[in-house]
Amino acid sequence: MTIQPTQYLLCLLSVFLVGCGTTKPYGTFDAQTPPAAPDYSQAEAWAALPGKDDPADLTPGSLINRQADAAADVFFLHPTIYDGSKGGDRWNGPVDDEDLRERILNSSILYQASLFNGAGRVYAPFYRQAHLQAYYSSDTLSAGQAFDLAYRDVLDAFDYYLEYYNDGRPIIIASHSQGTTHAKRLIRERIDGRPLQQQLVAAYLVGIKVRKDDFRQLQPCQDVADTGCYVSWRTYKKGVKPKEQDSSIVVTNPLIWTTEDTFAPKALNNGAVLRPFDKIRPQNVSAQVHGPILWSSKPKFPFSFLFLDKNYHIGDLNLFYVDIRENARARVGGYMSRPVNGREGK
């Protein structure tokens, strides 16, 4: 496929490197040999790991990487990067594919996971992510098996993290898109209503629908300082009409951190981080909860007049980069100040 100059420019305008042309998985899941499983005892199985030089350590502008003295941990799950744009036709992306690893590192880990390095030590596993088409394929059996395989890696990574890295520290769960598909299941199986819930600072479950009844005990955060709760949103251009009216879908406004439909103007946006990474763009977008989605004004960046998409999924985190960063840090501070066994936490 030959990409025309205008198409190429539009690809560059994306917040991270999604493909311009994709291929679908070949055959059924059962007809394929799954890629080799990652070994989370090895540093190369992690896209981000404290003590390892990786893009999650980087910061735009004057922001500071605070992982060295952070009191909390962040377990981050990246979105779908395996979309077939590089010829991948398997149901699950191989974690040892160097090109795919680089795309994950230079997109999601740099532009998304890094925003949490002001609040905690960042752990982000590579996992055998399901192909993008698993969300749309009519072969729902194969798609479900692909998601199950990806989730097994996520669960193995989290269990390894708990056993060898966590040491009782507070935890932030953060995810986007396919990462959130797996994070919801992980929370249900390992955190919700279990002793580990006491260590949860907050969960940032972004880019996939989260409903009020997805968890037994865990509740949506209701203000900027709540802890032991979760936030969620899916971003669209202001004026877009939702395809569904489902009042059970949780939507948080990441400028004012409530689930109410109060309009938050651009003046409250502390900074988007688009391209280039090192530039912070304050007062870039407004935000307002509108039924089951989050409305945002159109972001401003070089050549943004060419960006015509009304679905801002690729910018769910980046449009509110500094806002989420500051909020995560504040929630960790609030968590650490809670009484612990009759005394104030350190």
Give the sheet arrangement for strand 46-48, strand by strand: 46-48, 120-125, 72-77, 171-176, 200-206, 229-231
- Whether 276 has a pLDDT exceeding 90, the answer reads yes
Give the sheet arrangement for strand 235-237, strand by strand: 235-237, 293-296, 287-290
For residue 346, being part of any structural domain is answered with: no
| pLDDT, tens digit, 9 for 90 and up, residues 83-94 | 988 777 899 999
Q: How many domains would you assign to the chain? A: 1
- Residue 105, SS3? helix
Q: What residue numbers bound the domain in which 52 lies? A: 5-336
For residue 121, being part of any structural domain is answered with: yes
Q: What is the CA radius of gyration of the chain?
A: 19
For residue 89, being part of any structural domain is answered with: yes
For residue 161, being part of any structural domain is answered with: yes
For residue 344, being part of any structural domain is answered with: no
Does the predicted TM-score (pTM) go above 0.85?
yes
pLDDT for position 340: 62
Of 13-17, 93-97, 225-229, 282-286, where does mean pLDDT reach its minimum? 13-17
For residue 40, being part of any structural domain is answered with: yes
Residues with Cβ within 8 Å of residue 34, at least 6 apart in sequence: 91, 92, 128, 149
For residue 219, being part of any structural domain is answered with: yes
For residue 285, being part of any structural domain is answered with: yes
